């Protein structure tokens, strides 16, 4: 179990590379492993802080802090990203068994701009659930937050990021296998084909995808994370654990298997990547399929797919990238409305 808890205060000038080095030296903490896959998660994505958020919004900062101190020893309830982080840690346990000296692990980092008083309650919550969160970081392979504005900023900086939404009902998830589901267009892939579809309709889209079948799509914001998962999967395959691999990935796309799906698969192959399963829904709703797969997290760029997934019990994460964000400005506004600008992380 790690010791050096640090809660990153966003925009804090003290968090320079130099300050970070000094801090590491002072705390005698080993520098972050270079090969780790860093997942940065905000406190409100990891834990359910709805009640605290209400107090902050209705009664203000002072009452909010007072409440947090009064409830300091009471752990927060799990939030939407909690099962995903637990599954990530289960993968780490397996990796450590197979490769005791390897740095190629997940490194989970808590991002928060919360007040130090709240920090104590966070530490207590992390200890309560025996989570292995110990380092802070400036670089993340994946950033999960409940704050859509911060996620948008991260996406604009080229970081794989998503806003996590709680499911409408509780679904039991695997504790031994991390399952991650990705949409294709504007998530793993760029939005170049989505642009054709929005501008010219479905028929032109099919025509275009058929004509460009052998031209790989450009990469989207979550491609790097699939790649990182693939790298870890290879480590299990190398030890003969392909069938028992604790990581499973899924492509869940509205493309159809018969036509436009080919370009998606050929693109993944051109990158040297694959998902364990590729599901082509040909425009059918994604929620029912995800309900069967039971992923710990599902990434999509369109809010209606995120909503469809959460309604049927899947933790879904919105990736604010690509043409859909501009065209569906109403949806984007709705996201913003649900997420007050002045919120606590
Ligand atoms: Mg999409």
Residue 183 among the catalytic residues: yes
Q: Which listed residue (107, 147, 183, 191) is catalytic? A: 183
What's the CA-to-centroid distance between 218 and ligand 1, angstroms? Answer: 14
What's the CA-to-centroid distance between 340 and ligand 1, angstroms? Answer: 25
- Residue 15: which pLDDT band, with cuts at 50, 70 and 90? very low
Taking CB atoms within 8 Å and a gap of at least 24, the contacts of 20-27 are 20/136, 20/138, 27/3
**pLDDT surpassing 90 at residue 134:** no
Percent of the chain residues topping a pLDDT of 90: 64
Strand partners, 8: 111
Tell me if the pTM is above 0.75.
yes
**pLDDT surpassing 70 at residue 136:** no
Percent of the chain residues topping a pLDDT of 70: 82
**How does pLDDT run across 214-247, given as a tens digit for each residue?**
999 999 999 999 999 999 999 999 999 999 999 9
**pLDDT surpassing 80 at residue 331:** no
What's the CA-to-centroid distance between 192 and ligand 1, angstroms? Answer: 11
Do residues 73 and 83 make contact, with C-beta atoms less than 8 angstroms apart?
no
Q: What is the pLDDT of residue 12?
A: 43
Which is nearest to 337 in space by CA: 149, 94, 141? Answer: 149
Q: What angle do CA 229, 221, 328 make, to 5 degrees?
A: 135
What's the CA-to-centroid distance between 339 and ligand 1, angstroms? Answer: 22
Question: 308 or 202, which is more confident?
Answer: 308
Question: What's the rounded Cα separation, in Å, for the pair 263 and 93?
Answer: 36
What's the CA-to-centroid distance between 188 and ligand 1, angstroms? Answer: 9
What's the CA-to-centroid distance between 324 and ligand 1, angstroms? Answer: 8
């Amino acid at each position: 179990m790690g010791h050096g808890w640090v809660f990153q205060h966003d925009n804090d000038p003290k968090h320079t590379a130099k300050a970070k080095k000094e801090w590491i030296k002072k705390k005698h903490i080993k520098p972050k492993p270079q090969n780790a896959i860093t997942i940065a998660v905000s406190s409100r994505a990891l834990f359910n802080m709805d009640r605290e958020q209400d107090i902050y919004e209705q009664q203000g900062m002072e009452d909010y802090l007072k409440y947090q101190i009064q409830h300091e020893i009471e752990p927060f309830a799990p939030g939407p990203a909690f099962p995903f982080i637990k599954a990530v840690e289960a993968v780490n346990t397996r990796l450590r068994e197979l490769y005791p000296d390897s740095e190629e692990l997940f490194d989970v980092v808590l991002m928060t701009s919360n007040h130090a008083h709240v920090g104590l309650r966070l530490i207590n919550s992390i200890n309560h659930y025996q989570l292995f969160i110990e380092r802070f970081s400036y670089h993340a392979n994946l950033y999960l937050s409940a704050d859509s504005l911060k996620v948008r900023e991260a996406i604009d900086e080229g970081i794989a990021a998503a806003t996590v939404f709680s499911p409408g009902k509780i679904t039991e998830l695997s504790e031994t296998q991390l399952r991650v589901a990705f949409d294709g267009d504007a998530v793993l892939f760029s939005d170049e084909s989505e642009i054709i579809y929005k501008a010219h309709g479905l028929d032109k889209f099919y025509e275009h995808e058929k004509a460009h079948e052998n031209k790989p799509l450009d990469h989207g914001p979550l491609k790097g994370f699939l790649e990182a998962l693939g790298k870890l999967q290879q480590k299990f395959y190398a030890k003969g654990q392909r069938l028992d691999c604790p990581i499973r990935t899924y492509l869940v796309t509205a493309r159809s298997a018969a036509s436009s799906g080919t370009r998606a698969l050929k693109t993944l192959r051109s990158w040297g990547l694959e998902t364990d399963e590729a599901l082509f829904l040909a425009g059918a709703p994604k929620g029912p399929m995800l309900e069967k797969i039971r992923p710990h997290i599902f990434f999509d760029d369109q809010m209606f797919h995120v909503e469809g997934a959460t309604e049927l019990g899947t933790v879904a994460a919105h990736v604010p990238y690509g043409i859909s964000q501009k065209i569906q400005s109403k949806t984007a506004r709705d996201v913003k409305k649900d997420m007050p600008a002045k919120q606590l992380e």
